[in-house]
Amino acid sequence: MTHIRPTNEKLFNDAKRHIAGGVNSPVRAFAGVGGVPVFVQRAKGAYIYDTEGHAYIDYVGSWGPMILGHAHDKVIDAVKAAAEDGLSFGAPTPSETTMADLICQIVPSIDLLRMTSSGTEATMSAIRLARGYTGRDKIVKFEGCYHGHSDSLLVKAGSGMLDIGEPTSKGVPADFAKHTVTLPYNDIEALTACFEKFGDELACVILEPIAGNMNMVIPSHEFHQALRRLCTEHGVVLIFDEVMTGFRVGLGGAQAHFGITPDLTTFGKIIGAGLPVGAFGGQREIMECIAPLGGVYQAGTLSGNPLAMRAGKAMFDELTGEGFYESLSKKTDYLIKGLKAAADKHGVPFETCAVGGMFGIFFTDQLPKNFNDVASRCDAKKFAKFFHGMLDLGVYLAPSAFEAAFMSAAHTYEDLDKTIEAADQVFSQL
Ligand SMILES: Cc1ncc(COP(=O)(O)O)c(CN[C@@H](CN)CCC(=O)O)c1O
């Protein structure tokens, strides 16, 4: 495979002239792996193309939305048709009803939902709703889980359990952070102790049911069962943040995978097929607290935007097709098996995990079970070297050791073999 040497330096400097850090979202800046970000000109199927026309097999997929592959003909046609009818009305449209009916049909835990324009808005609204419904202020999140950038959720308690959060993001008032309890992920003991101490003060627990923002960590069934039981016992709203796992790890998301019924679920990414979108929904009794039905205010100029709704519908038409997820999972499993075999061949400590179209790769000899494991056991330096080696050979992975990777229906087995071949070359030089 030929080495790619793009010259994105100038583009990055141009971008920095008026965009903070040269990017509109920090993870794009390659801070996690060093070097200069790839500036994308266009994308099609499993490939992105930089401004010099270099092709890269893409396993980021815009951080999850591109499960069909980029610029899927039916999605593009739906967006074009929607655009012809106008871009936004600030009034209800039948396409929003279609989307709501679809999601409620596919995800039985959802009686009612509300669309937003991002995953952040969805989780922020779900937290406010849980607080309004229960009349309680405290919330629980888990170390290493990311739920977007709203104040309540950008708080990370110190080490250990039951710490009252200290804001790790500047600008979050300590007065705000004190209502957020952060626990170690996938730790039943810590969870039980927290409920013993705070149970009846908790408005909600929010978590990624399969974590994808500390790289990929799959918690135990027992952890989920304990969480569901404790929330029910203490009248605490259980929120599954499925912005990443929704329709990604399977049609029913992580809640179907684990057989757990959350009280609220948040979505984003895939449901808008790459257009700005989010959603939150769940039990009717809770959702009926949302304005205009109830006193928990929530709104958005572009919420339920017709282009995103009609793109999402075109996406769902494909996702609900016969055998879609079986075929996607087979490709993911084929790839991670090939990567593992290549690493073993070169004696590189390397582990992988996957569910459906989402997978994680780790430079370690033991799969991590929580954020501390990832942070302390995985070799981020080696990941960065691997990342750049693969990039030079035309394979685009997430530019961070703390992100999951994504398969699409557009990846062919030839693309997977090319990826494995590139990895074999890079592992030999690590
Ligand atoms: C589980 C989960 N919940 C909420 C969010 C926030 O969604 P957005 O506001 O970025 O649409 C995300 C966003 N994910 C990151 C990637 N890990 C988005 C990429 C970025 O921040 O640029 C998420 O993964």
Percent of the chain topping pLDDT 90:
87
Determine whether the shortest distance from the Cβ of 144 to ligand 1 is under 6 A: no
Average pLDDT along the chain: 94
Alpha-carbon distance of 126 to 133, in angstroms, equals 10
Determine whether the shortest distance from the Cβ of 146 to ligand 1 is under 6 A: yes
pLDDT at 177: 86
**Phi and psi for 11 in degrees, rounded to 5?**
-60, -40
Give 181-227 pLDDT, tens digit per residue. 999 999 999 999 999 999 999 999 999 999 999 999 999 999 999 99
Report residue 409 as tokens. 């229906």
Instruction: Tell me the CA–centroid distance for residue 63 and ligand 1, in Å.
Output: 8
For ligand 1, mutation pick of 213, 271, 403 (most atoms within 8 Å of CB): 213
Secondary structure E strands in 108-221: 112-116, 138-142, 155-156, 163-164, 166-167, 180-183, 202-207
Report CA-CA distances (Å) from 407 to 101, 160, 167, 262.
27, 34, 34, 26
Q: Which residues of the chain have pLDDT under 50?
A: 157-167
pLDDT at 1: 59
Q: Is 385 marked active-site?
A: no
Select which of 269, 313, 331, 369 is catalytic.
Answer: 269
Determine whether the shortest distance from the Cβ of 287 to ligand 1 is under 6 A: no
pLDDT at 172: 86
Residues constituting the chain: 430
Alpha-carbon distance of 319 to 250, in angstroms, equals 9
pLDDT at 5: 66
- Report whether 304 contacts 96 (CB < 8 A): yes
Give 372-404 pLDDT, tens digit per residue. 998 888 898 999 999 999 999 999 999 999 899
- pTM above the 0.90 mark? yes
